[in-house]
Chains A and B, each alone.
Chain A
Amino acid sequence: MPLIRHQAALAAVVCALASCQQTDQQLPFELDGGGQTTSIGPSGGLLSVPPNLSIAFPPNALASTLQVSAVERIAAFPNEAGELVPIDAYDVGPAGTQLLVPARVQLAVPPELLGAGDDLSLALALLTPGGDVITQVTSYDLNNGFLTADITQLGPLAAVVATDAIPVLDLASAPTLGGGSFAPPTVSAPVGPARNHGPVPPGAVRFTASCSTTGQSCFSSGIVDLWVDDVIRDRLGQDIVLYNANVEGEFEFSTFIGGRPYVAYGYMNLDGELRARLNSVVAGRRAGQEIEMFTGSGSTPSATAVSFSGNVMTLAQTSEDSPATIEYGVTGVGTGEQLTLQFEGDIEFSNPSPAPPDYGHIVVHVRLRR
């Protein structure tokens, strides 16, 4: 019996002791992401609001020493750049301070807060003193949820998911445009000088396209479609979008003979950010100069001769090629007409020296209407 009592007592002690489990030790500081002010001078420094935000100022980013602050933003952040990610936005000040060298911002954006595919459209938005929202080219660590971007001025910052990200497709699936003709003007007259957004000159027809992050969305308007070849897809992966697209284009045709124009005047600008998922990182690069063209031989648009054959229009002189052939298609839209033009550009990708660079091909269809 004494032995049994001993065992029972031992068992009771063991059970009691086994319930004593250590809890996790806490960090000696709070990581509440609330706000921080620090002095940053020309030698650079780091402003941190852990675990949410850090801004690294490299040497010479500031000309003189400043009290730089980052505090949780109370006021609503404008949503014109996209849907706000439900994390804290920060007022970084003094707002409007221009940086002589870009500062590196990191914002913690937990991947679980993003919807499917939103990682491709994620950006850091900066609100300028003038009320404009500028989105920065970013790199997003999908494993750890760190959104990284460089900024050139201080101001409120937030993470946004753009609602106008346009999927970039495989070039092999790009449709061939059908050519066609459009209705001549009721009055026949030569084309006049450039009249950007002015009245259509007598004897001319004008097709226009316009979409932007602040006006009509390029995504919802369907104005732009893009395709890229395998070089780009190999370099940037299969998941690519055009983000923050801005399109501005105008083409006037005049000097109609036999229902066909012989003079053209126009320009086309496409600007945006190609964003791609590369393994565990989403990164972007500006695409702008690749798709930029105007008619004429000078530094600004001017009239040039145009001819049509099949589904190709040939412009005698352009800023890109002289002559330049452009695939096109004309379709009726309601009471008007839609002219779809195909623009092409190349993106350079470097290789380990001394190997020459690779060039990837990008094709854009822009729909202009009259």
Chain B
Amino acid sequence: MKRIVWLAAALALFAPADAALAQFSPGARSVGMGGAGMVFARGVDAIEWNPANLALEGGWNIALGEAGTSALVTGADIEALQDMFEFELPVFTSDGGTAQQAVNALPASGLSLATVSEGFLAGSAAETSNGALPSPGKGYPSIGIAWGQFGVRVRSRVMSDVRLSKELVDLIVNDFDPARINEYQIGDTGFRSVSFSEITAAYGATLGERMALGVSARYVKGHKLTEGRFFEPVLDLVNQTAEFNSVAIEAPGGSGYGVDIGFALDLMAGLRVSASAVNIIQKMTWDDALIAHEATFFACDCPQSDFDSNPEDLIDQYQAGPVDPASMSLYVAQKAQGLFPGAFFPTVFRAGVGWRPWSSTAIELVGASVSPQGRQHNQWDERISLGIEQRLWFLTLRAGGAKGSDGIQALSGGVGLGFGPVKLDVSAGMMSGGFEFASGIVTPEDVDYAGGHVTASLQIMGGGR
């Protein structure tokens, strides 16, 4: 059972998203409203969602930080994920459940895990890495300030996805069995991770009394771009052994910029339409001094088997070195070729309509679409969200739901506490292919997704609408 715990830890290392510190998307308000929240976003939130709102909403705002977690598993629904956790949790009580049961609970097609993390905390958590394994690098702390029509925000992110075949988990957990040599399959086991920090300055201006335009300019500091995978084993059928090769290619830094624009129009009192385009201009250049992390694991029914020793020893076999075209394995060459294509931020278009019948209530319907170019975006970015927010004196309640691309559905809720200008917001939600209790409203999709998010933010704000 120790092995499966180790495997989870190794996954966390490979996908340098520290799951405990991940964030779903900027702003606990948006998370609580199921991904809506754009139309009446204000302050630092508006820098992300629609800079035009800086002009319409006004006021001042200091964002002191955000923390949260967001993870989406593809290949298993919530029930299957619960089955896995039921086997895994007894690890901590040392009774019940076996590693084999946990392996059996994995879907045959393997799992895919996508995470988005707050980069400063994730980078700090991974600082202990000795360099042989790729790490996300250290991001800037997430802070922001908005004053009237202006706003500046600093934030960091680590986005990653990890794909894992059931057979590889089986191998690591149960050691190599020559009688099953024809079963070991790596498939698409691998990961891709990008970490970066952004410094964004935004400005919103009114055009007439009811319309506003906004623009944001962003400097992007790339920390790490990493892509890695395992390859199918090299089999020796005479000696009945196998060699598993693993490679990760890392661009150790980069820089870029982006420009966003936004538009907001108050059609009538309390009714607003809003649209924005993030990264309408964008450029991202990664460092050329690529680093390769390589390891070969030998598997046999003998004491020399790498899978016969402590699983954590596998990590020690990784060696890092600069990529040299005169001396690179084909594994490195293949992975290097896959690193840069699409390694930039796509344009994300958002449009929404919001109704604020009175100052304490807001309802928003927001849609978001991602241009096909650029891979560096959240899997959850393409969606339509409906959310509601209700303020009750010092308390703010939020709820929302969303339907995303590929059939992802989400339900979220959140609560905000206001103590004078100090606002503490906490939101959480679940993602799935569908929710049975809501099937009368939204038909469940025949897809296996399971995920969740929790976000908390602390802000000081005042003035404005």
Closest 5 pairs between A and B when the two form their complex, measured CB to CB: A28-B288, A50-B333, A285-B237, A278-B182, A283-B235
User: Binary interface profile of A, 1-28, with partner B (CB < 8 Å = 1, else 0)?
Assistant: 0010010001000100110111011111
Residue A54 interfacial (CB < 8 Å) = yes
Would A235 and B231 count as touching, CB distance under 8 A?
Answer: no
Known: A22-B282, A28-B290, A349-B179. Is A143-B327 also a contact (CB below 8 A)?
no
Add 6 more A-B contacts to A29-B325, A48-B327 (CB < 8 A).
A31-B336, A31-B337, A50-B325, A50-B328, A108-B330, A350-B179
Would A14 and B277 count as touching, CB distance under 8 A?
Answer: yes
Q: Which one of A18, A51, A279, A285 lies within 8 Å of B337 (CB-CB)?
A: A51
- Shortest CB–CB separation between residue A61 and chain B, in angstroms? 15
> Max chain B CB contacts within 10 Å: which of A29, A46, A351?
A29
Known: A29-B325, A142-B232. Is A236-B342 also a contact (CB below 8 A)?
no
Q: Which one of A50, A350, A351 lies within 8 Å of B330 (CB-CB)?
A: A50
Contacts of A283 in B (CB 8 A): 235-237
Stretch in B84-92, B195-203, B205-213, B312-320 with 4+ CB within 8 Å of A? B205-213
Q: What is the total number of residues of chain B having a CB less than 8 Å from a CB of chain A? A: 62
Would B340 and A48 count as touching, CB distance under 8 A?
Answer: no
Residue A73 interfacial (CB < 8 Å) = no
User: Binary interface profile of B, 366-398, with partner A (CB < 8 Å = 1, else 0)?
Assistant: 000001011000000000000000000000000
Would B240 and A25 count as touching, CB distance under 8 A?
Answer: no
Q: Which one of B178, B289, B337 lies within 8 Å of A352 (CB-CB)?
A: B178
Would B301 and A20 count as touching, CB distance under 8 A?
Answer: no
- Shortest CB–CB separation between residue A219 and chain B, in angstroms? 21
Would B285 and A46 count as touching, CB distance under 8 A?
Answer: no
Residue A220 interfacial (CB < 8 Å) = no
Contacts of B178 in A (CB 8 A): 349-352
Would B232 and A17 count as touching, CB distance under 8 A?
Answer: no
Closest to A47 in B: B327
Contacts of B186 in A (CB 8 A): 143, 280
Closest to B238 in A: A285
Task: State the B residues within 8 Å of A (CB).
Answer: 167, 177-179, 181-188, 207-208, 211, 213, 231-238, 240, 259, 261, 263, 277, 280-286, 288-290, 301, 325-334, 336-337, 339-344, 347, 371, 373-374
User: Binary interface profile of A, 23-54, with partner B (CB < 8 Å = 1, else 0)?
Assistant: 01111111100001010000001111011111
Would B235 and A350 count as touching, CB distance under 8 A?
Answer: no
Contacts of A351 in B (CB 8 A): 177-179, 301
Would B329 and A46 count as touching, CB distance under 8 A?
Answer: yes
Would A276 and B177 count as touching, CB distance under 8 A?
Answer: no
Contacts of B234 in A (CB 8 A): 139, 141, 148, 281
Tell me the bound Cα distance from A358 to B326 in angstroms: 45
Would B301 and A350 count as touching, CB distance under 8 A?
Answer: yes
A-B contacts, 27 of them at CB < 8 A, read A10-B263, A14-B280, A17-B261, A17-B280, A18-B277, A21-B371, A24-B341, A30-B325, A31-B333, A47-B327, A48-B327, A48-B330, A50-B332, A50-B333, A51-B334, A54-B329, A54-B330, A106-B330, A139-B233, A142-B232, A146-B231, A235-B181, A274-B237, A279-B184, A280-B232, A283-B237, A286-B238
Would B187 and A48 count as touching, CB distance under 8 A?
Answer: no
Q: Which one of B333, B337, B343 lies within 8 Å of A48 (CB-CB)?
A: B333
- Shortest CB–CB separation between residue A17 and chain B, in angstroms? 5
Tell me the bound Cα distance from A274 to B237 in angstroms: 10
> Max chain B CB contacts within 10 Å: which of A26, A142, A235?
A235
Would B179 and A27 count as touching, CB distance under 8 A?
Answer: no
Contacts of A235 in B (CB 8 A): 179, 181-182
Would A14 and B261 count as touching, CB distance under 8 A?
Answer: yes
Would B373 and A25 count as touching, CB distance under 8 A?
Answer: no
Tell me the bound Cα distance from A47 to B213 in angstroms: 58
> Max chain A CB contacts within 10 Å: which of B188, B235, B277, B281?
B235
